[in-house]
Structure 1
Amino acid sequence: MTAREREMAARRRAAILTDLGLHGSVRVQEIADRFGVSLVTARRDVVALARQGRLQRVHGGGVLVPTEADDGTRHGVIGVVIPSGHGYFQEILAGARQGAREAGVRLILATSYYDEAEESRIVDRLRRARVDALLIATARPTDQRLPSWFATLDRPVVLVERQCAARGVDYVRSEHEAGVEVALDHLAQEGHERVALAVLSSTPTSVRLIAGFETALAARSGMHAPFPPVTFVWEDQDLSQRNAALESLLDSCAATGTTAVIVHSDDDAVALLGLALERGLRIPQDLSIVAYDDVLAALGSVPLTAVAPPKYDVGRLAVSVAARRVTAGDRAATQRVRLVPRLVRRRSTAPPGTPPPGTTRTAPHDAGDRS
């Protein structure tokens, strides 16, 4: 098995475990259909995960490994509120399910849509369901102000991928500011001096990415942003505004000699890659791209180098914090946990002007188009 095949197998198996955590079971046929692999390959994935103790094989697929916490003995019920249909939070939920098994608690899931009114209704419904604690990726992105329902909730709340400076508020989040610095460190090592940032402005993560980007660049010599961070929206499946912003980003990169760009989120990084290739740009020879989130980055036509927040660990630790609150109450110390993302290097970054594979720097005009 080549290094590329091993990487794809690892990514596929991580996704299988995410589905297992969400649904409790996986089927070989569904794995084959989803990833476009043979039944033999899908079955091999299930066998490998079973040998690692990550799932239990059954006829036609696999199920969660039984644990003591699955014998009906539970020590609390925790409500989980996350944005609907977002791949990023599916991995957080998989970690939360693992944390629930370890803590002997049961999870009740509710999905929101980054809408404060809907979020308030969901929280009220979970209160009536008598949950013992709440994990929530709230729609409110600011650090200082909490949603109105927070003051009236009479049970522990743990913020997930959010934070608040208010007294006694627990949270577990990825330190996205440090994630941007991880990306800039990598690009600096590659020799990039002019670097841009583009973010999906409709998510709370964008605020932290911009802050981290500006702070990190201010502390560096030899690297700068030729223009302010680009923000764009993606609403109601209308991509025209997003694509226009990305096209403008490419124009600005060309006009300023910018050689690398960090893009949040993965969907938008893949879109930028496609627009760049349509222009005849070579990735990474003409422009290096770093995706932020690492949900879909490996599936780009040029697999994208990405910053990967520790999503699974965020979910797992958040449940642990909530379970401790349930058992210890006010005696438990406030916990504010920040986990640092890591860089996953793939083929979309290289030193500026690097010739394509199989060529030399003495004849860059023979490089051709990698796309």
Structure 2
Amino acid sequence: MHLPRSRHEYLLREVELRGSVRSAEAAARLGVSEVTIRRDIRELEAAGRLGRVHGGAIALGSERGPRAARALVGVVVPSVVAHFLDTVRGMEALAPALHVRLVLGVSHYRPELEEQQVERLLALGATGLVLAPTTRDRSLDDLAAWLGAIPVPLVLVERRIDALTSLSELDVARTDHAHGAVLAVEHLVRLGHRRVGIGVYDRTPTAPRVRDGYATAVSRMGLAPGPDVALSKGDDDPARLRRELADLLDRCVATGTRAVLVHTDDHAARLVETALDRGMRVPEDLAVVAYDDENAELAAVPLTTVTTPRRELGREALQLLADRIAHGTGHRPPRHVELLPRLTVRASCGAAPRS
């Protein structure tokens, strides 16, 4: 059931983006009666937020009348859960101010579906695209050729592709994941650890940057080498992931390593469970810092984690695209915007949680 506040937000967003909203369509979309929507419209009209008309509502007009969205922007991401869901929400929050209507496509990490989604969005009239392209099972030359043939402005989101000039010259908004890993290792060192292990789910575009940051921090701080274990996803073969986590714990015990950085939150939570099942204490016997902060607080021991700025990243990506649409591709140099993650301290590392 949609609460009054969420219904009001929906009505105002539709009016802002399209200039008007029909009561019947809003009722069907929200799963409530038209009577409820008409009551909401009356309340918003009384508050001076919109104008009520027969069959719906319109934006409060200036002498030029209601303002609708000026541009349709396509967004193609690999999934709409966790990380990219929040990124899309960030774009959605900024879209009304830019008078942009967003249309979402999901690729499920499949290059052929990604290309189909882009074709569909272009056919709908998209004047620009925000893309998180799939780099798996696709050569960089093929990716560059495809992106170069797209006839509207592009912004890549949460991708770092420096191997080809044609790719690196596109506008990009991304998180500095290497910085996040450095934050994690530095924090563990401040807590007294001189050896830090790492476990990484390598089949993500984020993983290489996490590894880069970890290696940088270990070298910069003169740490002893810690265990390094590549982790699988675990959904298709849970037994394999259990073996990998057990291997990481075995190596930590054998080398006297009492701190570990684990990408992702889910993998870190499973590592904590494995450690607890062995009778180990977290953080007393093993301090754990996770990466992503998607479900970290819900772990058996709430996880200290690197928190990525997902919503802010969405806002930056959409703003970059709006600027590029407004000014054209040849009037300013490409922009690479990197946002820094922060460390959220909870119970799993041994430090006092921050309020």
Normalised TM-score (structure 2): 0.78
- Rounded to whole Å, the distance in 2 between the matches of 1:220 and 1:294 is 25
Corresponding position of 1:117 = 112
Contact 2:79 2:85 in 1 (8 A): no
After superposition, the Cα gap between the structure-2 partners of 1:326 and 1:101, relative to the gap in structure 1 and judged at 3 Å, is same
Residues 1:85 and 1:279: Cα distance change in structure 2 (over 3 Å) = farther
Runs of 4+ in structure 1 over 4 Å off? 141-145
What is the identity, as a one-letter code, of the residue corresponding to 1:120?
E
Compare 131-140 and 145-154 and name the one that shifted more: 145-154
Shift of the 144–118 alpha-carbon distance from structure 1 to 2, 3 Å rule, reads: closer
- 2:25 corresponds to: none
Letter in 1 for 2:83: Y
CA distance in 1, matches of 2:270, 2:235: 17
The equivalent residue for 2:183 is 182
Rounded to whole Å, the distance in 1 between the matches of 2:343 and 2:159 is 21
Asked if 1 retains the 8 angstrom alpha-carbon contact of 2:198 and 2:226, the reply is: no
Give deviations 1:74-106, integer Å, cap 9, x for gaps.
121111111224311111111011121221101
Which residue type is aligned with residue 249 of structure 1? L
Query: Does the 8 A contact of 1:304 with 1:347 survive in 2?
Result: yes
Aligned to 2:220: 219
Q: Secondary structure at the match of 1:314?
A: helix
| Alignment-derived partner of residue 23 in structure 1 | none
Distance in 1 between residues matched to 2:11 and 2:253, nearest whole Å: 52
Q: Deviations over 1:164-206 (max 9, x none)?
A: 3435300000000000011111111111111011111111101
**1:350 Cα deviation (Å)?**
1.8
Instruction: Tell me the distance in 2 between the aligned counterparts of 1:244 and 1:78.
Output: 44
Task: Tell me which of 125, 131, 150 is aligned to 2:126.
Answer: 131
SS at match of 2:348: coil
Alignment match, 1:311? 310
Q: Select 2:12's aligned residue among 51, 61, 66.
A: 66
- Corresponding residue of 1:204: 205
Checking the alignment, whether the CA contact within 8 Å between 1:140 and 1:147 is kept in structure 2 is no
- TM superposition shift of 1:64: 4.6
Partner of 1:149: 146
Using the TM superposition, give the Cα deviation of residue 117 of structure 1 relative to its aligned residue in structure 2, in angstroms: 2.2
Q: 2:95 aligns with which of 97, 100, 106?
A: 100
Given that 2:17 and 2:100 are in contact with CA atoms closer than 8 Å, whether structure 1 keeps it comes out as no
CA offsets per residue over residues 305-351 of structure 1, 9 Å max, x none? 01001111100110010111111112243110001100000000127
Deviation track 1:107-139 (CA, whole Å, cap 9, x = no partner) reads: 110111222222222222222222111111111
Structure 1: 5+ residue stretches without partners: 1-25, 29-55, 355-371
Q: Deviations over 1:271-322 (max 9, x none)?
A: 1111111011100000011110000000011100010011111001100101
1:43-88 per-residue CA deviation (whole Å, 9 max, x = no partner) reads xxxxxxxxxxxxx726xx7635836743531121111111224311
| 1:80 alignment partner, SS class | strand
RMSD: 2.3
The 5 A counterparts of 1:1-371 are 27=2, 57=5, 63-64=9-10, 66=12, 69-72=16-19, 73-140=68-135, 146-165=143-162, 166-167=165-166, 168-221=169-222, 223-227=223-227, 229-234=228-233, 237-330=236-329, 331-350=331-350
Q: Does the 8 Å contact 1:324/1:332 carry over to 2?
A: no
Distance in 2 separating the partners of 1:93 and 1:139: 17
Q: 1:250 to 1:236 in 2, by over 3 A?
A: closer
Measured after TM superposition, the shift of residue 147 of structure 1 is: 4.6
Give yes or no for contact 2:226–2:257 (8 Å, CA) kept in 1: yes
Q: Percent identity of the aligned residues?
A: 35
1:267 shift after superposition: 1.0
Q: Which amino acid aligns with 1:224?
A: A
- Whichever residue aligns with residue 241 of structure 1, its letter is R
Q: Secondary structure at the match of 1:348?
A: helix
Q: What SS does the corresponding residue of 2:349 show, helix, strand or coil?
A: coil
Measure the CA separation in 2 of the matches of 1:337 and 1:206: 19
1:76 & 1:235 partners in 2: Cα distance?
41
Contact 1:69 1:105 in 2 (8 A): no
Q: Deviations over 1:204-228 (max 9, x none)?
A: 101111111112211112x23323x
